[in-house]
Amino acid sequence: MKVLIVYYSLYGHTYQLARAAEKGVASVPGVEVVFRRVQEFDSVLQATAQSQHASQLRDQMKDIPICTNNDLRQADGVLFGSPTRYGNMTAQMKLLIDGTADLWMKGEMEGKPAGVFTSTATTHGGQETTLLTMMVPLLHLGMLIVGLPYSLPQMIHTDGRGGTPYGATSIAGPRGELQPKPEDLQLAEALGKRVAEITQKVRGQK
Ligand SMILES: Cc1cc2nc3c(=O)[nH]c(=O)nc-3n(C[C@H](O)[C@H](O)[C@H](O)COP(=O)(O)O)c2cc1C
């Protein structure tokens, strides 16, 4: 039983959520975690070459394999993580999803549980819109969307941090100066665990 976590992150916030989700998936016995990143664009590499922050993160992530359609094919469940870009997922993540026509035509993603997570700069910068629009192509692929229930205590709050029923979230700050709160990471971990547990139930023992 394999659960894939695939993420894009330029400044590390979504990467931290991905690592927390990985912990949650790994906590479920009998589930193997597959951890992948999304291919970066050359234009972004060039535009951020002088950014110490982005360069350090790229160095840290360089050994994480790039996600392929085979990774998606072999996964029994998938968590997708992308920072927001104008209230939607990044083009890098969209390119991966738009490249799945062969999987779609054969129904190879159908019946696989999926969870989504994101990071925004600001509280109202589009967490829900990003998560909801990330779900749309996953539904076209026939995936089963898994969210976060309100029985998780970290979900009930009124302060400026993440936590939505649509998936795990965090707030990076306008200059990326904030870090995910412990509760944000706990919710990402809970999402990973939930996707892994539901994957086991839906896909049976393998
Ligand atoms: C082109 C562009 C558009 C963005 N649009 C939004 C936005 O609509 N709302 C928002 O809160 N943050 C927006 N951001 C900020 C990013 O979401 C933020 O840098 C990201 O959450 C950091 O995640 P990362 O550390 O994983 O890269 C945007 C950033 C860029 C470069």
β partners of residue 113: 144
2-203 has which fold? Rossmann fold (3.40.50)
β partners of residue 157: none
Show me where the domains of the chain are located: 2-203
CB-ligand 1 contact for 84 (6 Å cutoff): yes
Strands (E) in 15-126, as ranges, are: 32-37, 77-83, 113-120
Specify the DSSP class assigned to residue 19. Answer: H
Residue 4, exposed/middle/buried by CB under 10 A (0-12, 13-18, 19+)?
buried
CB-ligand 1 contact for 86 (6 Å cutoff): yes
What spacing in Å lies between the alpha carbon of 82 and ligand 1's midpoint?
9
Share of the chain above pLDDT 90, in %: 96
What spacing in Å lies between the alpha carbon of 167 and ligand 1's midpoint?
17
Q: Which atom of ligand 1 is nearest to the CA of 127?
A: 11
What spacing in Å lies between the alpha carbon of 59 and ligand 1's midpoint?
20
Length of the chain equals 206
pTM of the model: 0.98
Average pLDDT, the chain: 97
pLDDT on residue 204: 84
CB-ligand 1 contact for 122 (6 Å cutoff): yes
Each residue of 146-195: pLDDT tens digit? 999 999 999 999 988 889 999 999 999 999 999 999 999 999 999 999 99
